[in-house]
Amino acid sequence: IDERWEIGKRIVEEEQNGEIRAEYGTNLLKELSAQLTFDLGKGYSQRSLAYYRLLYLYFPDRKILQTRL
């Protein structure tokens, strides 16, 4: 879970500049999915990255997430 939360955090904070959504027309998840899959292997589909982003948005404080598990 920690790795997925970290990826979600990176998507929101670095790639989306802290915004809930990326700018319209960007292929953020598609491009990031391709890069992570190339670098790390399977498990980084666009859908998975969207879920990781939601995980971070719902639980922006990692400590709260850990108490829920």
Q: What is the pLDDT of residue 18?
A: 61
Q: What is the pTM of this model?
A: 0.76
String of DSSP letters for 2-59: HHHHHHHHHIIIIISTT-SSPPTT--HHHHHHHHHHHHH-SS--HHHHHHHHHHHHH-
Residue 35's pLDDT band (boundaries 50, 70, 90)?
A: very high
Q: What is the pLDDT of residue 25?
A: 47
For residues 1-24, average pLDDT? 77
Please report, for the chain, the start and end positions of each structural domain, with discontinuous segments joined by +: 2-68
